[in-house]
């Protein structure tokens, strides 16, 4: 869904008729705008597939993976997460259960570059990764990687050069940390509480919220286990 600051739903997918006959769209995990803002890339983690949706057409225009078939060969993924489309059209994704970060060429259906060893889930970047579930661009040109196995955060580039790694204590499951805005507020997808919130860390107060705390729903103003978000262009993760 696209939600405005007043909490109104401006766009959503799928509407009745948006899916082609036989096409499915189950368990969308997170969604991000492409750099031109005209498409949205969605990782369907539990369905082991990535989709690209054309915003104006309301149609799926690209699929990587086979729905419901987790694997590691060509055109296969195992719990992809936090997928992004780069400026040249290539797709970058974290293939969590294969413990790798992979790049697919524009429109292609095979891996063109891989970081990590398929099936080796140990923190030792860039050689191996412990279930990577986030890799997002930073304002300095690097990427911020999160690894669920051991709760590690790494700063690195796409060539595999690692600037630093840090293990977070007292964290049960780290997930998709990324840099959104320079004003210091923190944007949180609070999945189990069925809400999205903005927190001012100077006061520890919630200054904006969408969703009703502890109440799951599908109507206007409600969410049901949200797991990912992006800011509308021109302030989206990749556009900015």
Q: Using one digit for the tens of pLDDT, what is the confidence trace for 194-207?
A: 999 999 989 999 99
- pLDDT over threshold 70, residue 240: no
Residue with more model confidence, 1 or 184: 1
Burial of 146 (0-12, 13-18, 19+ CB in 10 A): buried
Helices (H) and strands (E) in the chain, counts: 0, 17
- Per-domain boundaries in the chain: 2-210
Kindly compute the dihedral angle of the four CA atoms of residues 119, 123, 127, 128, in this order, to the nearest 10 degrees.
10
Write the pLDDT tens digit of every residue in 81-123: 989 999 999 999 999 999 999 999 999 999 999 999 999 999 9
- pLDDT over threshold 70, residue 13: yes
CATH level 2 (architecture), domain 2-210: 6 Propeller (2.120)
Candidate from 21-25, 138-142, 172-176 with smallest mean pLDDT = 172-176
Token readout for 109 is: 């259906």
Q: What percent of the chain has pLDDT over 70?
A: 99
Under a CB-based contact definition with an 8 Å cutoff, are residues 61 and 68 in contact? no
- pLDDT over threshold 90, residue 128: yes
Q: Calculate mean pLDDT across residues 46-54.
A: 97
pLDDT of residue 14: 97
pLDDT of residue 181: 63
Q: What percent of the chain has pLDDT over 90?
A: 76
Under a CB-based contact definition with an 8 Å cutoff, are residues 198 and 186 in contact? yes
Token readout for 74 is: 């060509």
């Amino acid at each position: 869904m696209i939600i405005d600051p007043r909490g109104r739903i401006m766009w959503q997918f799928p509407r009745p008729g948006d899916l082609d006959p036989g096409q499915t769209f189950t368990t969308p995990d997170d969604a991000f705008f492409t750099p031109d803002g005209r498409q949205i890339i969605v990782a369907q983690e539990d369905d082991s597939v990535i989709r690209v949706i054309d915003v104006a057409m309301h149609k799926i225009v690209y699929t990587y993976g086979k729905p419901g078939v987790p694997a590691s060969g060509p055109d296969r993924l195992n719990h992809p997460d936090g997928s992004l489309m780069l400026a040249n059209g290539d797709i970058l994704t974290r293939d969590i259960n294969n413990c790798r970060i992979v790049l697919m060429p524009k429109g292609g259906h095979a891996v063109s570059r891989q970081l990590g060893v398929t099936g080796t889930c140990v923190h030792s970047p860039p050689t191996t990764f412990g279930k990577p579930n986030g890799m997002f661009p930073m304002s300095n040109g690097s990427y911020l990687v999160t690894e669920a196995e051991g709760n590690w955060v790494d700063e690195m580039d796409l060539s595999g050069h690692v600037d630093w790694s840090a293990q977070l204590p007292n964290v049960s499951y780290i997930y998709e940390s990324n840099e959104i805005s320079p004003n210091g507020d923190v944007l949180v997808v609070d999945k189990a509480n069925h809400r999205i919130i903005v927190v001012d860390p100077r006061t520890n107060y919630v200054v904006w919220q969408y969703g009703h705390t502890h109440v799951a729903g599908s109507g206007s103003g409600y969410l049901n286990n949200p797991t990912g978000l992006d800011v509308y262009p021109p302030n989206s993760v990749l556009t900015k």
